[in-house]
Amino acid sequence: MERTKSKMAYEEAINYIPGGVNSPVRALKAVGETPLFVDHAVGNKIYDIDGNVYTDYCLSWGVFLLGHAHPMVNKAVLSAVKRGTSYGIPSLQETELAKLVRSCFPSMQRVRFVNSGTEATMSAIRLARGYTGRNYIVKFEGNYHGHADHLLVSAGSGVARLGKSSSAGVPDSFVSQTIVVPYNDEKALEQVFQKKGKEIAAIIVEPVAANMGVVLPKEGFLQFLRDITRKYQSLLIFDEVITGFRLSVGGAQKLFGIEPDLTAVGKIVGGGFPAAAFGGKSDIMQMLAPDGPVYQAGTLSGNPVAMSAGIATLTELMKPGFYEELNTKVDAFERKIKKAIEGKGIVLSRIGPMFTLFFKEGKVENFSDVKQTDQERFARFFRYMLNHGIYVSPSQFEGNFISIKHTQKDLDRFVRLVRDFNE
C-alpha cells in the first residue's frame, strides 16, 4: 500500500509535536513503520489520507465496541453540540449516565466522572489513601494504570520497554510507596502483606491484564485479592478502563463474580470522547470533596457531549442479545485462529472480544513471560498485516479488539492471513 501522504504528514508533524505524535505508541517505532494519518473511520474500517482502507482491530485502543461512527452515538453527539459543548455547571446528562453506569456496575454505588483513565485511577488511589489513612499501594508488573507519577513503575503499555521507574522525570520518592508484585503470584503478594499489610491502602489491578498484551488471571487469583484486602482492611481497586463494558455489560467483575471496593472505567463509557469514571461504595465515595476531605476536580469533567455519547453507547450495549451475538462470532474466531497458528510458535490469549497473539512458545501468565516474546517477529507480522489492509495494535504489549461490526468474512480473512504468514 502506498502511504506517501502519511509519511509527508509525519515529517511535518515532527516539527511541531514531540515525536510527531500525542501518544508515544502511535509513532510505530517499535514495528519499524511511520504513523498512519487517518482521514475518517466508519464501522470496523479506518481510511487513511492516502485513500487506503484497513479493517481495524485496535479500535482506538478498545474504545469502539459498537464500531466507529455509530449512527445513534453520532446523533446524540450532534444534538448535544447544538446545545453547547461545555458548561462547567451540572447537566442532566451526568446523572443519567451515572445511573446507567451503576445499573451495569452495582459495586459503583456513587460515580465521579473525569476525562481520562489516568485521572480515574489516580483519583481512585488518592481516595483509597484518604479513606484508609494509609500510604502504600500495591500494583502488578506489566499492569498499566495511566501515566500518573506514582504508577509509572514496572508498567505495561507504551512504557513496557522502559526501565525501573518507567519514565524519566519521576523521582524515586514518588514511587517509593508503590509496591510492585508479579501478576498472578499469590505467594509474593501474601509475603508483601505479611510485612506491610497494616500500611497498605489498596491493591490496584487490571482484572484481566490488557496492557502487556491480554493476560488472563489464574483461577482463584482475583478472589485471593478480594480475600487478602478484606483480611488487612485494605481496599481493592479494579482498573476496568479496558475491560469495563467489553467483557460484559458489567465488566470483568461481573464475569468473574468479584466485587471490588473501587472501580475505574474509561474508553467505552465515553463513546469515543474523552471521558472516564471512578466509583465505589457510598461510604468511600463520600470522602470526596465537597462532602469530604479528598480533593478531586476537573473543568471538563462530566462534559455534556461526552456524557451524551456515553449514554447512547451504553443504551446500545444493554440491548438484549448484544454480548451473545458478539461472543458467538469471537468463539468461532478463536477456534479457527488456534488451528491457523499450530506449529508457528505463536500463543493466542483471548477473553471475550479482546485477544493477543504472542510470538513465543509456551505459557503467558505474567510480565516476565510477555517480555520473552520475539519483538522482531511481531514487527514483521504487523507490517505484513498492515500491507494486507489489517490494522492490529502496533505493540506486542497491547491487546486487539473485535467490535460488533466485524463480520464473519472479516474474521475469516484475518485467520487466513495469520495462517499464511511465513515471516
Q: Which of 254, 267, 329, 360 is catalytic?
A: 267
Q: Compute the Cα dihedral for 77, 82, 88, 93 and give only its sign.
A: negative
DSSP letters of 316-354? HHTSTTHHHHHHHHHHHHHHHHHHHTTTTT-EEEEETTE
Catalytic residue flag (residue 144):
yes
Identify the H or E element spanning 126.
Answer: helix 117-132
Sheet-wide strand order for 136-140: 110-114, 276-280, 262-265, 235-240, 200-205, 136-140, 178-181
What Å distances lie between residue 115 and 120, 274, 287, 306, CA to CA?
A: 8, 5, 20, 9
319 forms beta bridges with: none
Q: Which of 48, 56, 185, 239 is catalytic?
A: 239
- For residues 285 and 128, give the distance between their C-alpha atoms in angstroms, rounded to a whole number: 9
Based on its alpha-carbon atoms, the radius of gyration of the chain, rounded to whole angstroms, reads: 21
- For residues 43 and 303, give the distance between their C-alpha atoms in angstroms, rounded to a whole number: 25
Catalytic residue flag (residue 239):
yes
Q: Which of 57, 136, 144, 323 is catalytic?
A: 144
Closest-CA residue to 103 (of 267, 326, 269): 269
Which backbone phi and psi does 67 adopt, to 5 degrees?
Answer: 90, 165
Beta-carbon neighbour count of residue 161 at 10 Å? 11
- For residues 21 and 7, give the distance between their C-alpha atoms in angstroms, rounded to a whole number: 13
The cell numbers describing 130, all together, are 484518604
What positions carry a catalytic annotation? 144, 239, 267
